[in-house]
Chain A
């Protein structure tokens, strides 16, 4: 494995897991991400919030190349994200993602959903992959559903399976894109509890979410985005109690107002 060179020019040291520099992205004419600079350390928990359409999903989807940025540099886990398929594959192996709509594979059982990537991507032997899968299913508290199919589970259970599926690749970084916003209120808590546990175990996480209680509880840093830019970032206490920009104040008053 050729290790990508870690020159000072990249400003990536061992502690940094994500570094985005002057990243810009367009959808056709529309400028979605504008001059994004962001650096995330290992073990850091980041919550990204902002109004709908502000580019939060696009931002984190750029980190594992579900979207392609057109300008600027992104380094993940010391690897540059460019058109090189090898780099992309290597990054995707280290980055887990949880989607709003779970995106479980409906034709595979829960266990198979979790074993698939370790077997095919990491080339883990079957028996070991099964062990890993059961370990993480136990951790998200649904080992007894292993032989069922995604369609037979509740939304909250499906989302926990999705988390376990991502964890089975033993990633260095987890991305969450509004993991609770497709769920009924009674199921939100079980998913948030799982995420809190994960955070307490020291997982590096970037979460797009509007669950402000979760942000206060686990985030090291809250990032507020509007119109494709990072408008404000701060520690949760300062962010919620003493927002600097007017746009943040307006957003917070809307989201916490009711």
Chain B
């Protein structure tokens, strides 16, 4: 601090030299009293300050002809945009709320939303949302053909997922890490069992075989750790040990899937609406991020084979439209399968969507990796961290923070692209809503508008939520490590 004062002093001297009466022959200039602290002008604080800075500052300069022109232009366009916004928003509110038909107590169905001209009771020229239609179709829009008696299973899945997700996101709660791990490991298995009913026909032989294979691999890993396996095979043994645990985990998941929980099996063909959209989007989002990270690391790897494979993979999936991928999954894939093997259409679409967005994710993450200074890699190497340690602890945390906007962009894109699965006969939110429009019992001129409005609002809520959360994360991460 003191040093700063010494440095600053000569500057003041030169600035004030012009005032001759203040000059002390020895010191040049010495301030005897502190300059007073003055309150800020009204243009800096309060509501007027805000209004001035954000709105009027840009249109209050009339100093010259060009400045006047600019001010007038800004004022005019501000007024125009304001007018446009007010009319549009009031129109929307009127359509969705004020003029809308809210109830259909007499069970008139389409007639409840007809004007006099059309044979109903509403005034001619009426044009607004017909909510009883949505109310009648809500179950189909949200759950598709999922049996009504079993809707509790879907709701329970939502509630569990939402609860755990909220737990992970609220920072004051304890055990957030454990809940997060459960959310990524146990929850998907539970959700699968709850939604499908479980009790898949998996032979005990498969499960037993996987268990034995896993145990064997773990044993090899143990031997390697104890030093019984030498040289390059030692590393292979360690890899085998890790794979062994994965195989055991896989066997455990298979075993859970094989258990009969006495839930009615519900074919994925009966799933639909928001349920499908969420299943496809969330699986895609959760699986594509780690896959994308691995692909990005592989593409920047020093191993030519890994680099080549990852590059080919990424370029292939990026070069093919998602619609083509979905068509291939639904039409082409069965042709290559042996007769009788028929794996679930939804699963095929899920894999297609995941791989597709993993390729995009990989490029986003690669951008982040490229922004990391070479010194960070060297710093991590120099303290002795291994490749995976330095990636996990040093490089990825920084790289991913840099590209949060890009990652969330890909997530949002994926969420909206799920609407494409309706092309291969899976009734996602949009598909389900569209199919309700075919119901003649509700046929009115506003039927389509109302249905699409609901779909748009649901999509918007989810995407906007992701966007806001990402901005919150960005701010939080920036706060923690920038000065």
Contact = CB atoms under 8 A, between A and B. Distances in A.
A103 B376 contact: yes
A151 to B, nearest CB: 4
A120 B483 contact: no
A107 B398 contact: yes
A48 interface: no
B379 A103 contact: yes
A153 B482 CA distance: 11
B89 interface: no
B438 to A, nearest CB: 54
B384 to A, nearest CB: 4
Contacts of A144: none
Given A105-B376, A106-B398, A107-B398, A120 B481 contact: no
A117 B384 contact: yes
Chain B contact residues, majority secondary structure: helix
B385 A121 contact: yes
Contacts of B3: 186
A21 interface: no
B382 A120 contact: no
Contact of B384 (A92, A104, A105, A149): A92
A92 B379 contact: no
Given A101-B375, A106-B398, A64 B481 contact: no
B394 interface: yes
A121 B401 contact: no
B481 to A, nearest CB: 5
B483 A151 contact: yes
Contacts of A121: 383-385, 389
B378 interface: yes
A169 interface: yes
Contacts of A22: none
Contact of B382 (A96, A106, A149, A152): A96
B482 A151 contact: yes
A107 B401 contact: yes
Given A103-B375, A107-B481, A149-B483, A169 B384 contact: yes
Nearest to A112: B393
Contacts of A66: 378, 381-382
Nearest to A65: B381
B147 interface: no
Interface string B370-390: 000101101111111110010
A103 B397 CA distance: 16
A89 interface: yes
Contacts of B375: 99, 101-103
Most buried by B among A103, A117, A186: A103
Given A92-B381, A99-B375, A186-B3, A106 B386 contact: no
Contacts, number: 73
Contact of A116 (B376, B383, B386, B482): B383
Nearest to B7: A186
Given A117-B385, A120-B393, A104 B378 contact: no
A98 to B, nearest CB: 9
B483 A165 contact: no
Interface in B373-423: 373, 375-376, 378-386, 389, 393-394, 397-398, 401
B480 interface: yes
Interface string A100-138: 011111111000000011001100000000000000000
A93 interface: yes
A101 B377 CA distance: 13
Contact of B393 (A102, A116, A152, A165): A116
Nearest to A122: B384
Given A149-B480, A186-B3, A104 B393 contact: no
A27 to B, nearest CB: 15
B483 A103 contact: no
Contacts of B393: 116, 120
A147 to B, nearest CB: 11
A106 B375 CA distance: 11
A195 interface: no
A97 interface: yes
A166 interface: yes
Nearest to A64: B382
B398 A89 contact: no
A166 B382 CA distance: 9
A184 to B, nearest CB: 11
Contacts of B481: 106-108, 149-151
B383 A99 contact: no
B10 to A, nearest CB: 16
Interface in B1-41: 3
A166 B383 contact: yes
A120 B482 contact: no
Interface string A153-174: 0000000000001100100000
Interface string B109-121: 0000000000000
Interface of B: 3, 373, 375-376, 378-386, 389, 393-394, 397-398, 401, 477, 480-483
16 contacts: A92-B383, A93-B384, A95-B382, A97-B382, A99-B379, A101-B375, A102-B375, A105-B394, A105-B398, A106-B398, A106-B481, A107-B480, A116-B393, A117-B384, A151-B482, A169-B384
Interface of A: 64-66, 89, 92-93, 95-97, 99, 101-108, 116-117, 120-121, 149-152, 165-166, 169, 186
Given A103-B375, A104-B379, A151-B481, 15 more contacts: A64-B381, A65-B381, A66-B382, A89-B384, A92-B382, A96-B382, A102-B375, A103-B376, A105-B394, A106-B482, A107-B481, A108-B481, A117-B383, A121-B384, A165-B383
